């Protein structure tokens, strides 16, 4: 065994806006029904940020809870990575806005844009700092106001998404280089830009100057999701040196209950090990994994020392998986 620096999750937190939007509420906006949404997606309700709440506000609330859980204060934070596809402004990065609002000292702050895979990508990027001793206390945040990207006449997308944020604190700890170490143990990140048309937003600064709306060929994304995610899960498990069925908890991106179950079945993970929050949160893009992780930690299921498998897929297409010991 050789001693290695590991990026260890020392605190988890999340935040959901107060306003609940039920399937029944949406059936007054578009031609849909509670039954269709529940049967096809598992979603029962989602949260919607107040008009004066930006992604950074959700991020600050989640980060404050994560810092408290870690026993840290904003003064300790030297790195902030925000995964978001719905930034407050074109620039500065939402991470820099979070830094200002939290009152963190001068450090490193930037955003990662990998849509729904953003949190897994951001963990990997932050590991490059923390795991090399270049950050002593990092905040990795997924924060989204996806409802702002909806076309409220498109029933195929507007019922699927919600707003929220989740955050983790990462700190370096010396491990012995085995899979018993706490910390981020393995990753597999993927992107296939050739599949852009399956899921994208039809607006942007340098194209048409619009914010745009989310466009998705849902059933095609669904097909890609199960196959591609399964490959990335096996690759991340290989990278970590663990067997997929040895994980204690599977904490997937929360897009659709049928995808969660399909992936778990395909990679041989017991259904009882799947943390699912899609019914209450819907798809909160980069925020969905840390929101689900925090739900599991706060209700006592997910405990320190346990082996976790995270995975996500989203626009790009991007996808990826991460193995960590909490
Ligand atoms: O986080 C990024 C990754 N995104 C995803 O993972 C999403 C992946 N895709 C999905 O979750 C599913 O494909 C959906 C939930 C989006 C759709 O479910 P589906 O079983 O693939 O349905 P479909 O798109 O094939 O549509 C089936 C029918 C269509 O009607 P026709 O053409 O059969 O008459 C749709 O028009 O369902 C209709 N439909 C709806 N009906 C009532 C689509 N949306 C709705 C709706 N309410 N909200």
Using the mean position of ligand 1's atoms as its centre, give its distance from the Cα of residue 27 in Å. 15
Give the integer Cα–Cα distance in Å for 125 and 119: 10
Task: Write down the pLDDT at residue 2.
Answer: 84
What confidence tens digit (pLDDT) does each residue in 144-190 have?
A: 999 999 999 999 999 999 999 999 999 999 999 999 999 999 999 99
Question: Could you tell which of 86, 156, 191, 229 is best to mutate to test the pocket of ligand 1, judged by most ligand atoms within 8 Å of the CB?
Answer: 156
Nearest Cα residue to 55 out of 161, 165, 140: 165
**DSSP H or E run through 10:** strand 4-15
Q: Flag whether pLDDT at 292 surpasses 90.
A: yes
The mean pLDDT of 191-217, rounded to a whole number, is 98
Q: In which region does residue 71 sit, left (phi positive, over 0), alpha (psi from -120 to 50) or beta (all else)?
A: left
Using the mean position of ligand 1's atoms as its centre, give its distance from the Cα of residue 268 in Å. 26
Residues facing 11 on adjacent strands: 169
* All residues at 6 or more sequence positions from 238 whose CB lies less than 8 Å from its CB, including other chains: 186
Q: Flag whether pLDDT at 136 surpasses 80.
A: yes
- Going by alpha carbons, the residue nearest to atom 25 of ligand 1 is 219
User: What end-to-end distance do the CA atoms of the chain give, in Å?
Assistant: 20
Q: Flag whether pLDDT at 1 surpasses 70.
A: no
Task: Write down the pLDDT at residue 288.
Answer: 98
Residues 293, 251: contact at Cβ < 8 Å?
A: yes
Task: Write down the pLDDT at residue 85.
Answer: 98
The mean pLDDT of 262-278, rounded to a whole number, is 97
- Where in the chain do CATH 3.40.47.10 domains reside? 4-175, 183-325
What confidence tens digit (pLDDT) does each residue in 54-100 have?
A: 999 999 999 999 999 999 999 999 999 999 999 999 999 999 999 99
* All residues at 6 or more sequence positions from 242 whose CB lies less than 8 Å from its CB, including other chains: 179, 185, 186, 307, 323
Which atom of ligand 1 sits closest to the CA of residue 155? 48
- Which residues carry out catalysis? 116, 253, 283
Residues 19, 47: contact at Cβ < 8 Å?
A: yes
CATH homologous superfamily for the domain 4-175:
Thiolase/Chalcone synthase (3.40.47.10)
Q: Flag whether pLDDT at 218 surpasses 80.
A: yes
Architecture in CATH for domain 183-325: 3-Layer(aba) Sandwich (3.40)
Q: Flag whether pLDDT at 114 surpasses 90.
A: yes
Which atom of ligand 1 sits closest to the CA of residue 159? 48
- My answer on whether omega of the bond before 317 falls inside 30° of 0, hence cis, is yes
Ligand 1 pocket residues where CB is under 6 Å: 32, 36-37, 40-41, 116, 155-156, 159, 218-219, 221-222, 225, 255-256, 259, 283, 313-314
């Amino acid at each position: 065994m050789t001693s290695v620096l590991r990026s260890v999750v020392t605190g988890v937190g999340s935040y959901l806006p107060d306003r609940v939007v039920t399937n029944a509420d949406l059936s007054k906006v578009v031609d849909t029904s509670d039954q269709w949404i529940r049967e096809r997606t598992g979603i029962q309700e989602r949260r919607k940020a107040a008009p004066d709440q930006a992604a950074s506000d959700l991020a600050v609330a989640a980060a404050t809870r994560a810092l408290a859980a870690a026993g840290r204060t904003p003064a300790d934070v030297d790195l902030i990575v925000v995964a978001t596809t719905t930034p407050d402004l074109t620039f500065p990065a939402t991470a820099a806005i979070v830094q200002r609002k939290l009152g963190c000292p001068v450090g490193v702050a930037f955003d990662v844009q990998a849509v729904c895979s953003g949190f897994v990508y951001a963990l990997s990027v932050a590991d490059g700092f923390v795991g090399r001793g270049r950050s002593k206390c990092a905040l990795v945040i997924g924060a989204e106001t996806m409802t702002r990207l909806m076309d409220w006449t498109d029933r195929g997308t507007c019922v699927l998404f919600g707003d929220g944020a989740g955050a983790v604190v990462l700190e370096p700890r010396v491990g012995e280089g085995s899979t018993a170490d706490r910390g981020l143990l393995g990753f597999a990140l993927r992107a296939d830009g050739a599949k852009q048309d399956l899921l994208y937003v039809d607006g942007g600064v340098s194209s048409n100057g619009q914010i745009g709306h989310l466009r998705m060929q849902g059933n095609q994304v669904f097909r890609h999701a199960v196959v591609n995610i399964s490959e990335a899960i096996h690759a991340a498990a290989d990278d970590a040196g663990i067997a997929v069925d040895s994980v204690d908890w599977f904490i997937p991106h929360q897009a659709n209950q049928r995808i969660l179950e399909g992936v778990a079945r395909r990679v041989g993970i017991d259904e009882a090990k799947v943390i699912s929050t899609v019914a209450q949160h819907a798809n909160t893009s980069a925020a969905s994994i840390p929101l689900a992780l925090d739900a599991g930690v706060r209700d006592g299921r997910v405990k320190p020392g346990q082996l976790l498998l995270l995975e996500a897929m989203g626009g790009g297409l991007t996808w990826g998986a991460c193995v960590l010991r909490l």
